[in-house]
Structure 1
């Protein structure tokens, strides 16, 4: 035990930093994104300034700082937006629920092509209904022009998907039709 005693201080310090990071990110004080970010940045600066004190764990601290810097732009939004999933696991659970319902509705076990075309509407609707049960009045069409824009985008995607299918089904016929249209103009 006495031989390894010198190794424990750096481990204890690194462990303390990680636990402080967890405490800050858990945000039990319900601070804003800016407040959490300021606290977290102060901790990261402390870690960067004193990483030499943890000996051989300095490379692990450097990696922690590097990974945190790459995630930093999107790390703090969840503190200002109440229903935004806080972790990748929470986000995956949301999308997993959408995939589960799509599989139940379509009977397909694999990827659902309809999500590629209509995902911008179906995924948003599925996630929104997890947070709130809407009444008929809330679901009424309020902005006809906005609805038309969404419909146009969906129609465009459906047509692109149809063209892909036609090309895969018979590429020579598809290309001949395009060539004929090109020569007509």
Structure 2
């Protein structure tokens, strides 16, 4: 086994010479984003921008690994505007894995409560409200006074958005059950509207 491992390491020695420095760049970026030094939220984007500038300069000068660095810069540029919300909002998960675990907990709690095994339609229609509520109640037990909406206009707007999604979902269900009848009803409504004008 030891000989096999040594043979593999010798065969890939040249590849590691290229990958090693690239991996070092990647670790440096991860270190900035992990914020182990507990920097203020405003300092992290600035530090990360300096890091990206250094990587860009290295990519322009590099012969080997240039394509990988350019790809890294392209992907980083597309994610950059959304990388720093987790430092501005307390308790917001920092990685997709953390977010997926949070959403998974909500999904499993919904499944336990409803007894359904598949996707829960209510999460699709009312997800912006139900998921937020489920995640918030894990962090804090709300009193009745705290649940009273502060901004009635925003609350009514949110209720309207949820109701419109519910209505669209009902229409989809009606169409799937009987497409012909649904289209006939639409044609009748359209003909009545055209008669008015």
Partner of residue 19, structure 1: 27
**2:168 counterpart of 1:168:** no
Cα distance in 2 between the residues matched to 1:42 and 1:155:
46
The range that moved more, 62-71 or 13-22, is: 13-22
Q: Which runs of 5+ in 2 are unaligned?
A: 1-8
| C-alpha deviation, 1:125, in angstroms | 0.7
Superposed, which structure 2 residues align to 1:137-152 within 5 Å?
A: 137-140=145-148, 144-152=152-160
The number of equivalent residue pairs is 185
SS in 2 for 1:73: helix
Structure 1 segments of 4+ aligned residues over 6 angstroms from their partners: 4-9
Change (3 A) 1:170 1:40: same
Partner of residue 86, structure 1: 94
RMSD: 2.9
Cα distance in 2 between the residues matched to 1:72 and 1:154:
30
Superposed, which structure 2 residues align to 1:35-50 within 5 Å?
A: 35-50=43-58
| C-alpha deviation, 1:143, in angstroms | 5.0
**2:127 counterpart of 1:119:** yes
The range that moved more, 125-134 or 55-64, is: 55-64
Cα distance in 1 between the residues matched to 2:59 and 2:177:
60
Partner of residue 105, structure 1: 113
SS in 1 for 2:42: helix
SS in 2 for 1:136: coil
Cα distance in 2 between the residues matched to 1:7 and 1:182:
67
The TM-score, its normalising length taken from structure 1, stands at: 0.83
Work out which structure has the larger RCO, using CA pairs closer than 8 Å and 6 or more positions apart in sequence.
1
**2:68 counterpart of 1:60:** yes
Q: Which runs of 5+ in 1 are unaligned?
A: none
Cα distance in 2 between the residues matched to 1:38 and 1:147:
36
Whether the 8 Å contact between 1:21 and 1:43 is mirrored in structure 2 is yes
The TM-score, its normalising length taken from structure 2, stands at: 0.78
Cα distance in 2 between the residues matched to 1:119 and 1:175:
29
